[in-house]
Chains A and B, each alone.
Chain A
């Protein structure tokens, strides 16, 4: 096992308060990317 994630980073990753805000942020960001639409590619050509 090689430590590749620093203690500080791990704290941020697992802190419920920080992660709560991250959860909101991620949910919105993913919603925008995924529900943001899709379409064809050929017409663009």
Chain B
């Protein structure tokens, strides 16, 4: 009889919990500890942020589902890790603090046989001075509440533009080390289309600001992709789209301070600039949650579990960019010190960036952190769950399931406008996510054909189909497991 505790009910935590529950008999307990009461399909926040979807379209309450399916749910946030137990409890546990209900504010030691840390990133707005969602006219779309606030502000601005106001809109990354450029990219294109739909496109100056050294870097060092019968760089593809839609861009820019309607930033050439705006959507830096870990005698062992995010089976030896290898990336997401702890999704510490690290002339690091999108988050969560299931069933350690981001494809369907007949999407698939320069030396480390771009209405339909399919799957409706991660 085993108890598996899953921390976090985002994409990876939910995927792990649902697969564990489906494949393990009821004598084993699956417990989810997460502060959020609702599951949210994060990618569709973009559409909440332009008012084309409402939060209710992208969320559902977790507790009733978990109750029905036999998954124990604690609406709590983990605060500390105790992988050896303590002087009172001879079992590993995490300390969790309830955030809702009668138990709110109280803590519990939640013991486990296997622990899956799927707590994703902390949205570290505080790393940029003055950046806080819905203040200083700057917004976020990282959660559905942020996206709702963004839409209210954008809607007001659109109404003012209809009255003749000229407006400046700034969208991109809000920190020199932000990741998730893809989400901001989708948002700027969706905003552009909505401005057109409301007949106010001419009244707006739309600017992209990002820490990417080139357009289309996406934290992945850019890519060489097949586009129709051509071979194109992602920078050329994005440049084509931005020029076509009249979007200006500022790149190699580390935003370091936000004031009312003003973004301060430093560029790679060491210059300091400001950009004014009437509405901004800036993705913050993502960081680890700052968890602490203690051994049996209450000694701090945080460095065994965390280096910002959780330590897993990656090669963390510091090396120059030229020596980075695809083999540095983890395969099983198991913590090397404690074999019963795993960290899929965004919760694991990457060995290094994917995009070449760059510093400004003043020594400020300005380059994207490595992205871990929904698809790899789901895939890594499932393989972690499968290894735990095998270990339990075979009664001996099994790490048969492996999935390195250097041997995994990802599809990024970037919405570039909403609407059944007027919508558009930029479908970009990448294989592998982390470039493998040994296998694919002539094509920037990726396999052409499997790394391709497509623009058009079909991309929007695909994104919409994925929205419905993944919500169906997350709700564990009949045959949900047939839908791949």
Contact = CB atoms under 8 A, between A and B. Distances in A.
Interface in A1-37: 1-5, 12-16, 19-20, 22-23, 26-27, 29-31, 33-36
B241 to A, nearest CB: 8
Nearest to B434: A41
Interface residues of B, number: 41
B406 interface: yes
Contact of A41 (B407, B411, B421): B407
A42 to B, nearest CB: 5
A40 B404 contact: yes
Given A19-B457, A26-B427, A26-B459, A4 B409 contact: no
Given A34-B429, A41-B331, A41-B404, A16 B411 contact: no
B240 A40 contact: no
A2 B244 contact: yes
Given A38-B409, A39-B404, A42-B331, A5 B465 contact: no
Tier of interface size on chain A: 20 to 34
Nearest to A45: B327
B326 interface: yes
Nearest to A20: B458
Contacts of A41: 326-327, 329, 331, 404, 406-407, 436
A30 B463 CA distance: 12
Contacts of B406: 41
Contacts of A2: 243-244, 246
Given A23-B462, A34-B375, A42 B327 contact: yes
A1 to B, nearest CB: 3
B484 A38 contact: no
Contact of B244 (A4, A19, A30, A31): A4
Contacts of A26: 427, 454, 458-459, 462
Nearest to A2: B243
A3 B329 CA distance: 41
Given A14-B424, A41-B331, A42-B327, A27 B404 contact: no
A31 to B, nearest CB: 7
B407 A34 contact: no
Most buried by B among A5, A14, A22, A41: A41
Nearest to A27: B462
B327 A3 contact: no
Nearest to B315: A42
Contacts of A31: 484
A39 to B, nearest CB: 5
A5 B411 CA distance: 23
A15 B403 CA distance: 38
B232 to A, nearest CB: 12
A13 B457 contact: yes
B357 interface: no
A35 B383 CA distance: 13
A23 B463 CA distance: 10
Interface in B401-447: 402-404, 406-411, 421-422, 424, 427, 429, 431, 436
Given A38-B379, A41-B331, A27 B244 contact: no
A29 to B, nearest CB: 8
Nearest to B239: A4
A1 B456 contact: no
Contacts of B454: 22, 26
A12 B456 CA distance: 8
A38 B404 contact: yes
Contacts of B455: 5, 13
Most buried by B among A23, A35, A38: A38
B458 A5 contact: no
Contacts of A4: 240-241, 243-244
A32 to B, nearest CB: 9
Nearest to A21: B458
A30 B411 CA distance: 7
Given A33-B429, A41-B331, A45-B327, A5 B461 contact: no
Nearest to A22: B458
A35 B436 CA distance: 19
Contacts of B329: 41
Given A40-B402, A41-B327, 7 more contacts: A12-B456, A20-B458, A22-B458, A30-B411, A33-B409, A40-B407, A42-B404
8 contacts: A1-B244, A2-B243, A3-B244, A22-B457, A26-B459, A26-B462, A31-B484, A39-B402
Interface of B: 240-241, 243-246, 326-327, 329, 331, 375, 379, 383, 402-404, 406-411, 421-422, 424, 427, 429, 431, 436, 450, 452, 454-459, 461-462, 465, 484
Interface of A: 1-5, 12-16, 19-20, 22-23, 26-27, 29-31, 33-36, 38-42, 44-45
What 3 A-B pairs are tightest by C-beta distance, nearest first? A1-B246, A13-B456, A40-B402
